[in-house]
Amino acid sequence: MRSSHRRAIGRNVIVIVLVVILIVAAAAVYFGTAGPSKSSTSATSSSTGSTSTTASSSTTSSTSTTESSSTTSTTSSTSSAKTSLVLEEEDQPDTLDPAVTYVTPGWEVVDQVYQGLVTYNGSSITNYEGVLARSWTISSDGMNYTFFLRSGVTFSNGDPFNAYVMWYSVYRTIEMAQAPFWILNQNLAAGNGRTFNVTDAMLNSMNYFTPSAANLSVMMNPEQSVQVINATEIQFNLGYGTNGAAPYSQFLATLETPMAMAVDPAFVASNGGVAAGKPNGALTTTTMGTGFYELQSWIPGQSVSLVKNPNYWGNKLPASELNNAIAPAILNNIIIYFKPSAASIADLRSGTAQMIFVPVTYYNVTQGLSGVTTSVLGPAYGSAEAVSYLYMDPLAFQPFNNTLVREAISYGIDYGVLIKNVFANHAIQWVGPVPPGFQYYNESTSGLSPYQFNATKAAELLAQAGYVAQLPDGTTLNPTGTAFPSVNFLYDSDSPTDTQAAQIIATNLGSIGIPVSLSALPYKTYSSVIYSPSTNSTSYPMGIGFYSEDYTASIDYVYYFTSDNYIGTSNYADANAIAWTLNASTSFNTATVISDFSHITRSMYGNYTDIWLYVADEMTVNQNGITGMIPNPAGSAAGYFLYFNTVRYTS
């Protein structure tokens, strides 16, 4: 879940990291005068095949729906503080190290302090624009990405950014090998498997500002994943990662994540350096980036304070060279408090907070607040937060090997009641594995309807499978059949919506003859179960599963559902689906990807592998008179936009 603990459960590594955080004393908040927004929008151009891209590019011709679907605004009432913004939300960062953070609140802060080569263009999740890169090219075979870097970029302490620093930053993430590193490791690796290998000792010993000839010979070696061409040019050579010697059509999406952001080698060296397979404790709470904000303080359990970077390199650029991702910050201070939703709503009502991030289940509360705008976003935002489904592990529970049983369960759930009673109709049904609102969803689900509730048909299918079943009027079908064994049903006890949904599903299934024993586990324990490899020994063969994006691409979801063999993905391991997934991941041809995704969708749909349940809406809530937020499903700021630098007051 993007707003809390559900963001980014990696396919290759499932790690629960317990971080002991040093408390940082809060400094005084400085106030100044907000200036006008400086941003420009550049035209997009195709990035498939052999292309040269300046400022922004598109990976496909298909568009995603990201606009908001409804907005309510009441009478204006604005805060007197025009140079600072207070945002309140429930959950706090795990760490502020871009190579380590793996939850939304961590990405939210890191995105303001650190910068990478590229980011999304406006609200698009298929078009890109340059950040530290001014342009880039992609080889015709999709195996080589060459980035031409901006000149004059510095970290907030004045240290220079260059291609050597970028080389170091990417290999640092790979060498540390923390939970999210797999996002890069799909296509990049520390070694080439033959003659070249980057080590932590190597990273700690080199000079990245005035490299020696020996240093350059290492960084310019062409047989490696990240190759320096010169001080302002760097090339990524795919084929050394876990995906093997193949292109990856969504490689730019992986570079947009914090894992590929630039860090200052000198700052890291002065704070313990790089240690293979280990996090850097000092960088958990201290930062040094090239971004428009600096970390002023992080008081764990209470708040994060950001202050405008006075030495920001973007201040020197003419307006014609700026885009939304590199424009200087308008507001002097961003303060994020971590509070329960009810407390955040109270602070918004009183004017203490100007923006809050709360679940859509509070929509009827916030939309009635005076001086507050509440907007419901399009389906891509809910999908980025979490897509929910019912898993059934056939290795652990023999009846789930029977397709008729799985089909009966698909008809036995009252989806309308789930959406009405749990989400007050602020959710939609979906058909997976491509998430609603994301690229290719409409094409891959064309001709398919979400699973439908029909208790009579559910009972008939269960009886046909050989079990005693009950019709809605109480009639027993197949009375001499086998009584369906009780099945443990797992859900996240920390989620109020999952708790309510589990109770409804248990009642539904019990009424047709499938007795369900509800098993609630707190999130960390729950997630360790559903993201474990499927075996025949789990105590929880059925339950509510979820997936939220690791990076904003349809293939990320498809890989999860078809290729991971978790308990929480019903141990699905169909050879055809895996082949279609791999083919789609390497193709830049829209028709090919749609065809592969359509085959996967129909295969899983007719097999009732997972029962696709719902995707809850996401909403924005802020005081009137605040603008400049650019919605993007990849955004972690208040759960729906990427950067605070463009946020401003209009009244």
Tens of pLDDT along 203-222? 999 999 999 999 999 999 99
In three-state secondary structure terms, 248 is coil
Q: Where are the beta strands (DSSP E) in 507-610?
A: 516-521, 542-547
- Count Cβ neighbours within 10 Å for each residue of 53-72 and write b for 16 or more, e otherwise: bebbbbbbebebbbebeeee
Average pLDDT of the residues in 49-54? 42
Distance, CA of 179 to CA of 172 (rounded, Å): 13
| Top-confidence residue, 574 or 35 | 574
| Residue 49 Cα distances to 43, 133, 227, 589, 622, angstroms | 18, 19, 20, 10, 42
Average pLDDT of the residues in 82-86? 95
The confidence score (pLDDT) of residue 70 equals 58
String of DSSP letters for 169-216: HHHHHHHHT-GGGHHHHTT--SB-SSS-B--HHHHHH--SSS--HHHH
Pairing assessment for the beta strands 84-89 and 333-338 based on DSSP bridges: parallel
Q: Judge whether 138 and 47 are in contact, CB under 8 Å.
A: yes
Q: Judge whether 74 and 371 are in contact, CB under 8 Å.
A: yes
Distance, CA of 254 to CA of 248 (rounded, Å): 10
Q: Judge whether 358 and 366 are in contact, CB under 8 Å.
A: yes
Distance between start and end Cα atoms, the chain: 33
Average pLDDT of the residues in 58-78? 43
Contacts of 230 (CB under 8 A, 6+ apart): 163
Bridge partners for 482 per DSSP: 467
Distance, CA of 434 to CA of 437 (rounded, Å): 9
Q: Judge whether 304 and 316 are in contact, CB under 8 Å.
A: no
What domains are there in the chain, each with its CATH number? 51-59+79-377+618-649 (3.40.190.10), 381-616 (3.10.105.10)
Residues 316-365: tens digit of each pLDDT = 999 999 999 999 999 999 999 999 999 999 999 999 999 999 999 999 99
**CA-based angle 375:644:347, to the nearest 5?**
55
Tokens of 394: 């056939």
| Top-confidence residue, 41 or 530 | 530
The rounded percent of the chain whose pLDDT value lies above 90 is: 84
Average pLDDT of the residues in 141-157? 98
Residues 161-199: tens digit of each pLDDT = 999 999 999 999 999 999 999 999 999 999 999 999 999
The DSSP letter of residue 421 is I
Q: Which of 357-366, 536-545, 608-617, 621-630 has the lowest mean pLDDT?
A: 536-545
Q: Where are the beta strands (DSSP E) in 1-83?
A: 51-54, 56-58, 70-73
Q: Judge whether 424 and 430 are in contact, CB under 8 Å.
A: no
Owner of token pair 């500002």: 209
Q: Judge whether 235 and 224 are in contact, CB under 8 Å.
A: no
In three-state secondary structure terms, 499 is helix
Average pLDDT of the residues in 568-595? 96
Assign 71 a pLDDT band (cuts: 50, 70, 90): low
Residues 364-377: tens digit of each pLDDT = 999 999 999 999 99
Residue 424: burial class (beta carbons within 10 Å; 0-12, 13-18, 19+): middle
Q: Judge whether 112 and 87 are in contact, CB under 8 Å.
A: no
Owner of token pair 């007050």: 424
3-state DSSP of 255-290: HCCHHHCCCCHHHHHCCCCCCCCCCCHHHHCCCCCC
The confidence score (pLDDT) of residue 537 equals 67
The confidence score (pLDDT) of residue 234 equals 99
